[in-house]
Amino acid sequence: MERARAIDRVASVLDAVETEPMPVPVREVWVYGDVALGLDPIDRLDVYVTKDLLMTSDAEASEAFERSHGVKGVGKSVSAEWAEANPDSLRANTNGYAAPEKCLAAHLLPDDEPVHLEVCNASFDDNVTQRLKGAMARDAYEQILDPRGVCLYADGQRSETALDKLRAGELVFPTLPEALAMLGMDEDDAAEAADAVRDYRASQTGATVRGDVV
């Protein structure tokens, strides 16, 4: 993916979050990995979204969408207003309930671009730490979240300065093994983990999404 195209995609995500109804409230938008490092081209564009829970519940809408679309939880796990305006982007998990992370991916990303969307209730920094602890405990290094990230949107405010620096490739980060070592990994383990993360990312194709709860 050419860097200019990747940055344009990031800008379109920010525009949507700022101006359009979302399946769930979005508190933060980050990018991390290749695009943050200034690479051109990049293998994949990695976007991280911190979501909030809906504060209201609409039982009537939930029943209506279950009848019309066979999807449970509309008005509870995702916004009924959003679902009514974007029925083609409504997505469910294997249990038939509306899945916020899949709905966000369907709303924000084309299917044919190499973009990965991480969706979590926790901020990027907190999730980096939690994912690292879990990956080390299970020896599942491919589940590590690359800690080299840039916050572009938080609490209703978009950072044009951060976006301009990202577009110009002005941000400087350590290598992935160095970044993991700074978070407390042994040097040899950090090198092995970085290889696992790269191999896992290389195996992904098209648009992908992962939902997480911390």
Can you give the pLDDT at residue 134?
Answer: 94
Find the mean pLDDT for residues 201-212.
Answer: 92
Can you give the pLDDT at residue 173?
Answer: 95
Find the mean pLDDT for residues 160-169.
Answer: 94
Write the DSSP string, the chain.
--HHHHHHHHHHHHHHHHHS--SS-EEEEEEETHHHHT-SS-S-EEEEEEE---S---HHHHHHHHHHHS-B-BTTTB-HHHHHH-GGG--B-TTSBB-HHHHHHHHH--TTS-EEEEEESS-HHHHHHHHHHHHHHHT-GGGPPP--EEEEEETTEE-HHHHHHHHHT------HHHHHHHTT--HHHHHHHHHHHHHHHHT--SSEEEEE--
Q: For the segment 81-98, what is each residue's pLDDT rounded down to a tens digit?
A: 999 999 999 999 999 999
- At residue 179 the predicted structure's pLDDT band, cuts being 50, 70 and 90, is very high
Record the pTM: 0.94
- At residue 104 the predicted structure's pLDDT band, cuts being 50, 70 and 90, is very high
Q: For the segment 24-79, what is each residue's pLDDT rounded down to a tens digit?
A: 999 999 999 999 999 999 999 999 999 998 877 778 888 888 998 899 999 999 99
